[in-house]
């Protein structure tokens, strides 16, 4: 079995939400006394959400990296790690890849600490414990999935190239086997199903909930190819009653905690994202690609096209604010329209192609677009192209399109890249520290 020393297993100094992890230590070890009572457990939970706010993760760069890889975005100024992602030729020492890998496992570390400590704490009700542990399972499942689709061969259940799955806090450096893809999916599903059974639905979309766990699991099942389950879960979220599509597509991004949001990462002017910093410099670090502009123009998009601002040679995406002061805009991790897209694709992949059209047309009509005809899904190639186009239009600059191209078998032909570049490398820093015990992804050796 492939193994590597997990050097990011974690050090928790849970004194405040902003001081959850030891940022200085390269090899992070757990402080066994980090969570001892209800107060420190709540601090750990705040630290868990804080970990997701990392600029390398949902603070903006996870989505931006995916958009660059998919040719929805382009590197507009000189920043080497963005240029490498835009070209699709990503070296093992790419700065974003290294930073995001570390940040993701830091979130896992925090989740593991909560899961290990909270069940044995006194002075907390079972309901309170369930909220904390359910949230930890949700975040761990979410982050494992993000790691898998970036660094693992997620489209192939028989592949040995899944990701490392540390499940317990470590008080010393330990060897963690690199799990297979099937094993990784099993753990992700287990975490999210536990979250579904542990969490309730609540009004604020800034916190993990039963609906959020169902939505992410629907996404996972779609990637996994379990279309019946993807359909069931997406339908459960659509029928939940806690969520509804906004009448105006553009309000999805200007209204925080909206009826359409399922789970979003909260930012404030004091606790900022990095979207504005990267997109509102002059010139911006990341701009909308010519290819995406042409895509929207060819479709005659009106409503959804309003989220792109032409600056005269450079087009800026305004989904996350339209000024340099937009650092407090939230990041949408899951929203209801994606559930319609998931259900449509799941139905189509089960052979019910015409049944998929109402869900696709629901979103098109909101955006001022006419209904699709049955001819748009009459053949396998037409179906794949339609699904890709509708997802690209609805979810542009939300970090999905690259993965859609990969899982629907269109990455090599659309982007003219070698097949091994369907996933990112294991960071060189990880390879160096593990002293040869880590196996690099195929093609990156």
Domain that holds residue 398: 3-268+330-418
Q: How many domains does the chain have?
A: 1
pLDDT band at 46 (very low <50, low <70, confident <90, very high): very high
The answer to whether position 320 is within a domain reads no
Structure token digits, residue 146: 């993000």
For the stretch 107-153, pLDDT in tens is 999 999 999 999 999 999 999 999 999 999 999 999 999 999 999 99
The answer to whether position 301 is within a domain reads no
- Please indicate whether residue 444 or residue 29 has the higher confidence score (pLDDT): 444
The answer to whether position 300 is within a domain reads no
Decide if pLDDT at 82 tops 50. yes
Decide if pLDDT at 269 tops 60. no
How far apart are alpha carbons 55 and 273 in whole angstroms? 6
Q: What sign for the dihedral angle of Cα 204, 205, 207, 208?
A: positive
The mean pLDDT of 339-368, rounded to a whole number, is: 97
Q: What pLDDT was estimated at residue 13?
A: 38
The mean pLDDT of 203-225, rounded to a whole number, is: 96
The answer to whether position 424 is within a domain reads no
Decide if pLDDT at 3 tops 70. no
- Please indicate whether residue 282 or residue 288 has the higher confidence score (pLDDT): 288
How far apart are alpha carbons 75 and 322 in whole angstroms? 19
Decide if pLDDT at 334 tops 60. yes
Q: What pLDDT was estimated at residue 24?
A: 36
Residue 5 β-bridge partners: 175
The answer to whether position 97 is within a domain reads yes
For the stretch 371-408, pLDDT in tens is 999 999 999 999 999 999 999 999 999 999 999 999 99
Decide if pLDDT at 409 tops 90. yes
Structure token digits, residue 377: 């899904």
Residue 389 in 3-state DSSP? helix
Q: What pLDDT was estimated at residue 279?
A: 60
How far apart are alpha carbons 362 and 226 in whole angstroms? 24
Q: What pLDDT was estimated at residue 395?
A: 97
Between the two ends of the chain, the Cα-to-Cα distance in Å is 18
How many other CB atoms are there within 10 angstroms of residue 103's CB atom?
23
Q: What pLDDT was estimated at residue 410?
A: 96
How far apart are alpha carbons 288 and 309 in whole angstroms? 9
* DSSP symbols for 235-258: HHHHTSSS----SSTTHHHHSTT-
How many other CB atoms are there within 10 angstroms of residue 206's CB atom?
17
Which stretch of 53-62, 118-127, 154-163, 277-286 has the lowest confidence by average pLDDT?
A: 277-286
Q: What pLDDT was estimated at residue 1?
A: 31
How far apart are alpha carbons 220 and 189 in whole angstroms? 8
Q: What is the pTM of this model?
A: 0.92
Decide if pLDDT at 166 tops 80. yes
* DSSP symbols for 38-92: HHHHHHHHHHHHHHHT-TTTTTTHHHHHHHHHTTSEEE-S--HHHHHHHHT---T
Decide if pLDDT at 309 tops 90. no
CATH number at residue 126: 1.25.40.390
The mean pLDDT of 297-311, rounded to a whole number, is: 86
For the stretch 224-249, pLDDT in tens is 999 999 999 999 999 999 999 999 99
Structure token digits, residue 221: 């099942």
The mean pLDDT of 239-261, rounded to a whole number, is: 93
How far apart are alpha carbons 307 and 249 in whole angstroms? 10
The answer to whether position 315 is within a domain reads no
- Please indicate whether residue 200 or residue 15 has the higher confidence score (pLDDT): 200
Decide if pLDDT at 18 tops 50. no
The answer to whether position 44 is within a domain reads yes
The answer to whether position 324 is within a domain reads no
């Amino acid at each position: 079995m492939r193994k590597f020393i997990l050097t990011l297993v974690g050090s928790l100094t849970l004194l405040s939400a902003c001081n959850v992890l030891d940022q200085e230590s390269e090899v992070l070890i757990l402080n066994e006394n980090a969570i001892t009572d209800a107060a420190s457990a709540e601090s750990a939970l705040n630290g868990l959400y804080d970990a997701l706010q990392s600029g390398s993760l949902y603070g903006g760069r996870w989505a931006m990296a995916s958009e660059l890889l998919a040719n929805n975005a382009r590197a507009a100024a000189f920043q080497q790690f963005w240029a490498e992602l835009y070209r699709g030729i990503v070296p093992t020492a790419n700065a974003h890849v290294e930073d995001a890998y570390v940040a993701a496992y830091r979130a896992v570390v925090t989740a593991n600490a909560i899961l290990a400590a909270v069940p044995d704490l006194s002075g907390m009700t079972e309901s309170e414990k369930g909220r904390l542990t359910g949230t930890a399972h949700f975040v761990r499942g979410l982050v494992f999935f993000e790691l898998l689709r970036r660094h693992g061969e997620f489209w192939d259940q028989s592949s040995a190239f899944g990701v490392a799955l540390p499940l317990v806090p470590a008080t010393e450096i330990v060897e963690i086997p690199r799990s297979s893809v099937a094993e990784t999916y099993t753990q992700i599903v287990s975490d999210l199903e536990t979250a579904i059974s542990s969490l309730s639905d609540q009004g604020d979309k800034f916190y993990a909930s039963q609906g959020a766990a169902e939505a992410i699991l629907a996404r996972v099942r779609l990637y996994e190819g379990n279309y019946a389950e993807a359909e069931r879960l997406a339908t459960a979220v659509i029928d939940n009653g806690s969520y509804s599509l906004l009448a105006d597509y553009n309000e999805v991004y200007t209204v925080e905690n909206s009826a359409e949001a399922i789970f979003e990462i909260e930012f404030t002017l004091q606790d900022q994202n990095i979207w504005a910093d990267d997109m509102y410099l002059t010139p911006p670090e990341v701009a909308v690609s010519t290819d995406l502009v042409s895509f929207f123009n060819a479709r005659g998009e009106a409503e959804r096209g309003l989220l792109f601002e032409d600056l005269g040679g450079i087009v800026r995406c305004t989904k996350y604010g339209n000024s340099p002061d937009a650092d407090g805009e939230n990041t949408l991790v899951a929203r209801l329209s994606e559930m319609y897209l998931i259900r449509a694709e799941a139905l189509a992949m089960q052979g019910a192609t015409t049944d998929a059209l109402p869900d696709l047309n629901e979103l098109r009509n909101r955006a001022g677009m006419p209904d699709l005809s049955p001819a748009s899904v009459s053949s396998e190639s037409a179906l794949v192209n339609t699904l890709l186009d509708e997802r690209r239009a609805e979810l542009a600059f939300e970090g999905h399109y690259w993965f859609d191209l990969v899982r629907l078998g269109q990455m090599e032909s659309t982007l003219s890249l070698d097949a091994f570049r369907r996933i990112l490398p294991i960071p060189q820093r990880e390879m160096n520290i593990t002293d040869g015990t880590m196996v690099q992804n195929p093609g990156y050796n």
